[in-house]
Amino acid sequence: MTLSADAVGSGTTGLDIAAVRADFPILARTVRDDKPLVYLDSGATSQRPLQVLDAEREFLTTRNAAVHRGAHQLAEEATDAYEAARESIAGFVGAAPDEIVFTKNATEALNLVTYTLGDDRSADVLGGRALGEGDTVVVTELEHHANLVPWQELCRRTGATLKWYGVTGGDSADAGRIDLDSLDLDETVKVVAFTHQSNVTGAVADVAELARRARAVGALVVLDACQSVPHMPVDFAALDVDFAAFSGHKMFGPSGVGVLYGKQALLNALPPFLTGGSMIETVSMEMSTYAPAPQRFEAGVPMTSQVVGLGAAVDYLRLLGMNAVAAHEHSLVERALSQLGEIGGLRIIGPTTTTDRGGAVSFVVDGIHAHDLGQILDDEGVAIRVGHHCAWPLHKRFGVAATARASFAAYNTLDEVDALAAAIRKAQNFFGVNA
């Protein structure tokens, strides 16, 4: 089935959700004694539309070959498809094609940045001196482990100090945001890394203000955009970040492919992360020189069909219109905050208003462990995430070991939000903890 522009509007009007859902066959299946699937775990991984599945299949059955190698027609067509996807993905996030590096996931993209910044050959990127003792790297308490642990390792290797912005807490309607008053930056700060949109609280960061503070002390800005790129318009050039990472599988694309964005001058100043074939300029027995970015960071045979699939996912989202996607998901979050807010004994972990808030809604229910709640909801056909969502420090900050999380995408409906609330009430009845 092909999604038509008429079905989705111009990108500023509402989505035709029935037409969207028809492109995702998995949403029509049943689970747990023939209950309709209510998939509310897109923050972990999204489902894939037929357009993405068809694009991968078409590539593999008609043009499959090693890219950037060979003079035969298949190799040329494969390379053209790979680079066309790069161009489409770049345009989607306000980048030039040479500023887009393909990785196996966003975690690898962030590790690429941290690893290369720890190399003494990155001195020019860091103001003329390699990262070391006396330098500071700044993160936030909101971070997914993928944007925390690599920075911890970088500081361990180099002797730099890790500091962080805290998170707003208490019973405030604005809890779960980066607390900009919790840390002052100084000239020792070399990197400020933070999430654009929290995968736990849904809070959307004030990128402009954080970037302004980083620039004031000469620091690099690194953005984890995994939870923003699939759900809202994002332009890395307009945001003026130095590096950003996002993943394919969270934005209707395949698993096994992620993206690193980097300003071209910075990418070309960094040493390679992985070495071998494809990323070299010259090789002798004594030494090698390296190709310019992005090829410098794409050693070996890449995940070609996945990149083609991600290009198709971007084309699909572009057709939907990211303003329309954001508006629809805003309505879902608004309904969820309202419905869950009426359930006694339920505490939302994060902002309880929709201002500067994305589609991750995490919560705890008095008297029910998150894993038990997830099991009861699964029995009702409602698929959510339970645990610490790779954000252990944030959960400790809120004094909870685990939360339940519903996360939305363009294919979800208001009826599914209502089903979530009804299933939570049923769990309360089951455990005898009715408020």
> Using one digit for the tens of pLDDT, what is the confidence trace for 348-406?
999 999 999 999 999 999 999 999 999 999 999 999 999 999 999 999 999 999 999 99
5-48+321-430 and 57-318 have identical folds: no
Class of domain 57-318: alpha beta
Sequence-distant (6+) residues with CB within 8 A of 276 are: 299, 300
The answer to whether residue 171 scores a pLDDT higher than 90 is: no
Q: In which residue are the tokens 């405030």 written? A: 172
Residue 133 has a CB neighbour count (10 Å cut-off) of 8
The phi-psi region of residue 283 (left if phi > 0; otherwise alpha if psi is between -120 and 50; otherwise beta) is: beta
> Mean pLDDT in the chain?
96
Long-range Cβ contacts of 415-419 (<8 Å, 24+ apart)? 416/38, 416/40, 416/382, 417/332, 417/335, 417/336, 417/339, 418/335, 418/339, 419/38, 419/380, 419/381, 419/382
**Structural domain spans, the chain:** 5-48+321-430, 57-318
Angle, CA 212 vertex, CA 208 and CA 213 arms, to 5°: 125
- CA terminus-to-terminus distance, the chain: 46
Task: With H, G, I as helix, E, B as strand and everything else as coil, classify residue 163.
Answer: strand
Task: With H, G, I as helix, E, B as strand and everything else as coil, classify residue 346.
Answer: strand
Question: What is the per-residue pLDDT across 189-208, written as a single tens digit (0 to 9) for each?
Answer: 999 999 999 999 999 999 99
* CA-closest candidate to residue 107, choices 137, 143, 140, 150: 150
R_g of the chain computed on alpha carbons? 22
pLDDT band at 342, cuts 50/70/90?
very high
Name the residue type at position 60. Answer: L
Please tell me the predicted confidence (pLDDT) of residue 11: 40
How confident is the model over 271-288, as a mean pLDDT? 97
The answer to whether residue 12 scores a pLDDT higher than 80 is: no
The answer to whether residue 6 scores a pLDDT higher than 50 is: no
Superfamily (CATH H level) for 5-48+321-430: Aspartate Aminotransferase, domain 1 (3.90.1150.10)
Please tell me the predicted confidence (pLDDT) of residue 3: 44
Please tell me the predicted confidence (pLDDT) of residue 429: 97
Please tell me the predicted confidence (pLDDT) of residue 69: 84
For the question of residue 155 being annotated catalytic, the response is no
101 within 8 A of 109, measured Cβ to Cβ: yes
Q: Which two tokens stand for residue 54?
A: 């068809």
Residue of 7, 319, 390, 414 marked catalytic: 390
- pTM of the model as a whole: 0.96
Please tell me the predicted confidence (pLDDT) of residue 300: 96
How confident is the model over 224-239, as a mean pLDDT? 99
pLDDT band at 42, cuts 50/70/90?
very high
* CA-closest candidate to residue 154, choices 128, 125, 119: 119
Sequence-distant (6+) residues with CB within 8 A of 409 are: 42, 46, 47, 230, 231, 252, 329, 359
Residue 52 has a CB neighbour count (10 Å cut-off) of 27
Q: How far apart are CA 410 and CA 27, in angstroms?
A: 12
Q: In which residue are the tokens 């006694």 written? A: 344
Q: How far apart are CA 92 and CA 233, in angstroms?
A: 8
The answer to whether residue 10 scores a pLDDT higher than 70 is: no
Question: 69: which DSSP letter?
Answer: -
- Beta strand segments in 241-351, E: 243-247, 258-262, 280-283, 288-290, 346-348
Question: 108: which DSSP letter?
Answer: H
Please tell me the predicted confidence (pLDDT) of residue 13: 45
Q: Which two tokens stand for residue 311?
A: 């290009």
Q: How far apart are CA 167 and CA 140, in angstroms?
A: 8
Question: Dihedral (C-alpha) 241, 247, 251, 256: value to the nearest 10 degrees?
Answer: 160
pLDDT band at 435, cuts 50/70/90?
low
The answer to whether residue 306 scores a pLDDT higher than 90 is: yes
